[in-house]
Structure formats: structure tokens, C-alpha cells
Amino acid sequence: MQSSQALITNDAVVLGLLAVVLGFVFHTSHSSNPFWQKFYRYVPSVLLCYFIPALMNSFGLIDGNNSQLYYIASRYLLPACLVLLTLSVDFRAILGLGPKALVLFLTGTLGVMLGGPAALALVGPFFPEQLGGEGANAAWRGMSTIAGSWIGGSANQAAMKEVFEVGGEIFSVMITVDVLVANIWTAILLWMAANAARIDARTGADTTAITTLKQKVEQYQTENSRNPSTSDLMMIIAIGFGVAGLAHWLANMITPWIQQHAPELSVYSLTSTFFWLVVLATTFGLLLSGTRFRHLEATGASKVGSVMIYILVATIGMHMDITAVLDYPVMFLVGLVWIAIHAILMLTVMKLLKAPVFYMAVGSQANIGGAASAPVVASAFHPALAPVGVLLAVLGYALGTYGAYLSALLMQAVAP
């Protein structure tokens, strides 16, 4: 680990600081003070949970790149919260959301595949020296890793790095572009989640299936909810982290076996431990929703899961450095054009299908952000919808290597 120049480098202190930030945001967002009520009418609370840590990282108060908090949150809290958020889910109701969610997800995949070559073709002629070349540090090679990340995840990104022999210099630049541009888009999606009702009313979207799913969860909570005892909370923790531990254990057995006996399955991300961790945690949660453990929702299982989600949001924000654009302005310009093409395509198809903004937002984030952040965006609409983001993100892992490979070939063809 590289030495950090940040003012605060102790992760225990950083975690305490993030907790204070989250407490401040939730306290003020539920305040009766007219100023805060007006403020949060325009600025979603979840966006602040993400953006304030980003500011602290950008101005050197903390250093997200040298912190282990995101790794801990994504590996320990994420699988546990996936279990807790799926305990009360009606799986048939999720399937009943219909094909529009899948269509918009595939539209997002296509937007990334074509957006990269289009961005390079648009911006490349103006900056041929920075965006041209055929060596290991050629821009198109580096962009192939972004395509892998934005369609699938880190495993697909690593695959593209090896397939196209991407140089270390351009790869480090692309990591920065990937994180910053993707997080800017995530912030926009979170804003849209906070204004979903108004957007859906304007587009005439049919939100019946989503409303039905949310109402089922809310009705169950209303009819069965009670103040949790210490025993109830300990059972929630036991199930959440116990099942997450089981998922870790199985993932650590399945992954090496596949790597040894079927390494060719790496193109589907089946050799990724994180892939199996997410899949297993979600699957176990859905299975438990049909058992007596479903009653834990009545004592606040999804609320505990939501707390974990917000901690994850804060640790994701820690990795965003808004000043980095000054170091690589041309590549950030390409990244912004790329994500804009993706966004325009998503919004256009959403309008043509008259689909709810939820489908667009989660379909997009399942591509761009993957399994770590897709449930964050989904739960911003409602905790009951988090599994939809996970299921689509898992599909992205399967498509990531193929889509990114085709996108890279197109980018090579149009590179100046």
C-alpha cells in the first residue's frame, strides 16, 4: 500500500467520520426546519451520502484509494444486506415486472458497446496525439478495460487488460476515468430516483407492477411489524452475516474448482469469487423468503440492510476524486461523451417504451456499476427492489467479456 498524504489515514477514524456524515444527512433530511425541507426537496439525501465523502477524498481529508473500508463494505456488508433485503421479496412479483427491465438493461449494454467507439470517433480527430497510436498504451486499448467494467465488472475489466495487453500507464488513467465518470452518472441516477414519480408522470409510464411489489412489502410490514427486541436484532444479524459467511465459504470452494477444471468459463466471470459471492447471497436470501425467517422483516430486517447499503454508498463515494479531471482532461472528455451516448440511448428507449424510470436507472447501473452499486440505485426507489438490480448485474457479468471485446475491436477501427 502506498503512503497517503491525506489528513486522516486511520480507517477507524474515517469510519467514524463517515458515520457522522450519514447521521447528519439523515437527521437533517427528516428535520421539520423549513430550510432543510426546502433543501432536500431538490437534493436527494442519498446523493449527499455519496457526495460528501467524495469531497472529503478530493480535498485530501481522507484517502479512499488507501482505505480498506470499501473492500470491507463490499465483501462483508453487501452480501449480508442482500440477504436481509431479499427476505421479504415476492420472487414471482419480481418476475412480474415484465420484459421492459430486461430490454432496458440490454439497451444499456449496447449503449456502452457503441458509445465507446462513437466517443473516440467524435473526440479523436481533435486530439489525435493523445487518442491515437497502436502501442500498449494506445487509448483504444485502455478504453477496452472501461468497456469491460461498464458492461460487466472488475473481472471483465481484468480480462480485457490481458486480452489486449494494455499498458500499465494507460490502464491507471482508465481506472481513474472509469471511477469518476461512472460515479457522476450514479449521482444523476440517484437524483432521478428521488424524482421518479414526477418523471414517470411526465412520460406516462405504467408503474403498476412496481407499485404492486412495493405495496406487498409495505402491507406485510404494516400487518406484522413490531418493535424489535434485542433477540430479534441478534437474529437479523445472525441470518445476515451467517448466510453471508456461508456464501463466502462456498464461493471460495467453487471458484478454485472452476479455475482448475473449466478455466474457459472465465469469459462468463464464473472464475470470479465476487461473482459467486453476490449470486449465492442473493439466492439464499430469495430461498429464505419462502421460510419462517421471512418474519424477520416484521422486526426490521430490511431497515438493517438499508443501513448497510448507506455505509456502502459512503465508501463508494470515497473513491471519487473530482480534481482528477485536471490531470487527464482529454480522456475524461471521451468518458463523458461515452456515458452521454449511453444515457441518451437509455432515455430514448425508456420514453419509447413508456417504461418507468426505475427500469432505466437499474438497467443502466447494472451495467455501469455492477453488483456493488446496482442494488444501491434500486433501493433508492424502494428496499424491496434491490434484488432486481442484483439479478441484472449478474447478467452483466456474463455479457461483459463478449460485449467489451466487440467494443474494443470497433474502437481500434475508428482510433485516429
Residue 134 in domain: yes
Residue 265: predicted pLDDT: 79
Give pLDDT tens digits for 271-320: 878 878 888 887 898 889 888 898 898 888 888 988 998 898 888 788 77
Instruction: Give the mean model confidence (pLDDT) for residues 385-408.
Output: 80
pLDDT number for residue 3: 58
Tell me, yes or no, whether 5 lies in a domain.
Answer: no
Q: Which residue has the higher pLDDT, 184 or 246?
A: 246
Q: What is the CA radius of gyration of the chain?
A: 21
Question: What's the half-sphere exposure (Cβ side, CA atoms, 13 Å) at 20?
Answer: 6
The answer to whether 304 touches 233, Cβ cutoff 8 Å, is yes
The answer to whether residue 39 sits within a structural domain is no
End-to-end CA distance of the chain: 37
Q: Enumerate long-range contacts of 159-163, CB under 8 Å, 24 or more apart.
A: 159/266, 159/267, 159/400, 159/401, 159/404, 160/401, 160/404, 160/405, 160/408, 163/405, 163/408
Rounded Cα distance between 268 and 402, Å, is 9
- Residue 9 lies inside a defined structural domain of this protein: no
Backbone angles phi, psi at 44, to 5 degrees: -60, 140
Q: What pLDDT is stored for residue 247 in this prediction?
A: 94
Residue 1 has pLDDT above 50, yes or no: no
Handedness of CA 166, 168, 170, 176 (dihedral sign): positive
Report pLDDT digits (tens) over 37-49. 889 877 778 778 8
The pLDDT score that the predictor gives to residue 122 is: 94
Residue 129 has pLDDT above 50, yes or no: yes
**CA-closest candidate to residue 356, choices 186, 183, 185, 202:** 202
Residue 372 has pLDDT above 60, yes or no: yes
Region 4-17 average pLDDT: 90
User: How far is residue 269's CA from residue 404's CA, in Å, rounded to a whole number?
Assistant: 13
Q: Structurally, how many domains does the chain consist of?
A: 1
pLDDT of 145 above 60: yes
Q: With respect to residue 91, please indicate whether it lies within any of the assigned structural domains.
A: yes
Asked if the structure places residue 64 within a domain, the reply is: no
Q: What is the mean pLDDT of residues 211-229?
A: 77
Find the domain containing 349 and state its range.
Answer: 69-414
Structural contact between residues 34 and 25, judged by C-beta atoms closer than 8 angstroms: no
Query: Distance (Å, rounded) from C-alpha 143 to C-alpha 177?
Result: 10
> Helix 357-368 crosses helix 168-194 at what angle (to 10 degrees)?
160
> What rounded mean pLDDT belongs to the chain?
85
Mean pLDDT of 95-124: 89
Confidence tier at 93 by pLDDT (50, 70, 90): low
Q: Is residue 190 part of a domain?
A: yes
Predicted pLDDT of residue 230: 93
Q: Answer whether residue 61 is part of any domain.
A: no
Over residues 192-220, the mean pLDDT reads 84
